[in-house]
Amino acid sequence: MTTVEVFAPAKINLTLHVTARLDNGYHTLDSLVAFADIGDRVYLSTQGPAELAVSGPEAVPELSSNTNIMWHAASQFWKPDIRLSMRLEKHLPLASGIGGGSADAAATYRGLLLLRAAAEGHETPRDPTPEDAQKLLRIGADVPMCVLSDPARIRGIGEQITPVPDLFPYAVVLVNPRVQVSTPAVFSALKVTENPSLDPWPDSFEDRDAALDWIAAQRNDLQAPAVADCPAIAEVLDALQQVGGCRLARMSGSGATCFGIFDRVHLAQAAAEAISAENPKWWVRSGRLNGGRHAVPQLIRSTT
């Protein structure tokens, strides 16, 4: 029996510029994304019930259904005649703008590659093949970037991925007010769909203060329509801005999760504790933007 464990880190849109609306209804974006050491865990096995079991603090019954995006990944990248048992340990809130479902699908893909490699006796490829990349994009626009789980500039509908290897792993606090926001509704409420791209790209992100200044000068074009639809987002942003040590507060994706960037981990931890104490019903977590370091699948048991 072979079992694989895969960490599925939360995706954070540090910037999100909506640059155009296509005829098919999709929008093109220009975004800087990073991944936190906060996320879900996916377990895959070649033995056990051929089902998806879901546990964890954010588990809900509908996640176990055959419509879960993890099944879409399995249908594309696993042979139907070989049993596959999946388990999802859910820690990220649903529909929260931090790519939880996409991260789970991406983790499933990475884990399936390792399962296949273990069975066939070869090394696991680091990057998707062009054919796999197209399949991943059809599963979800955020899935290819979540497969890599490293800082990157994302353009187009998510298919243009440029790694940003020198982005500093900032300390971060993630806050969700326990309100789900409809991504289609937020995009529909966006008054201007042809906005400027990111400012000229810096030569280097080695200076973390200069990089943070550059990030702060960018935007999330979806933040205003999301706040109009969900005023609780404004409360979250205010809470982050008021807490000590927060260098930048912004919404991620289409919301409702917001992030705060801090200079030190202990400042982020103290901020998370303070915000949780004032708002005990909110989802609040602290960590670092180094989720890619934890995203490599692990073979946790192999017996014959």
Give 237-291 pLDDT, tens digit per residue: 999 999 999 999 999 999 999 999 999 999 999 999 999 999 999 999 999 999 9
Strand order in the sheet with 246-251: 246-251, 258-262, 171-176, 283-288
Predicted pLDDT at 205? 75
Structure confidence at residue 119 as a pLDDT band (50, 70, 90): confident
Predicted pLDDT at 126? 73
Task: Write out pLDDT tens, residues 192-224.
Answer: 999 999 999 887 777 889 999 999 999 999 999
CA 269 to chain centre: 20
Give 148's contacts (C-beta < 8 A, 6+ positions apart): 127, 161, 163, 292
Q: Contact at 8 Å (CB) between 176 and 282?
A: yes
Which residue has tokens 């670092």? 288
Quick check: 303 pLDDT over 60? Answer: no
Predicted pLDDT at 13? 98
Q: What number is the average pLDDT over the span 2-12?
A: 96
Strand partners, 61: none
Cα–Cα dist 280/273, whole Å: 10
Cα diameter, the chain? 60
Quick check: 38 pLDDT over 80? Answer: yes
6-28 CB burial, b ≥16 within 10 A, e <16: bbbbbbbbbbbbbbeeeeeeebb
Q: Strand, coil or helix: what is 287?
A: strand
Predicted pLDDT at 203? 77
Nearest to 34 by CA among 189, 253, 265: 253
Question: How confident is the prediction for the chain on average, in pLDDT?
Answer: 94
Q: What number is the average pLDDT over the span 76-98?
A: 95
Cα–Cα dist 88/58, whole Å: 10
Which residue has tokens 């769909």? 193
Backbone angles phi, psi at 81, to 5 degrees: -85, 0
Pairing of strands 85-89, 52-55: parallel
Predicted pLDDT at 125? 76
Cα–Cα dist 10/12, whole Å: 6
Cα–Cα dist 72/85, whole Å: 14
Task: Write out pLDDT tens, residues 143-161.
Answer: 999 999 999 999 999 999 9
pTM, entire model: 0.95
Q: What number is the average pLDDT over the span 88-99?
A: 96
Predicted pLDDT at 302? 53
Which residues are identified as catalytic?
A: 11, 142
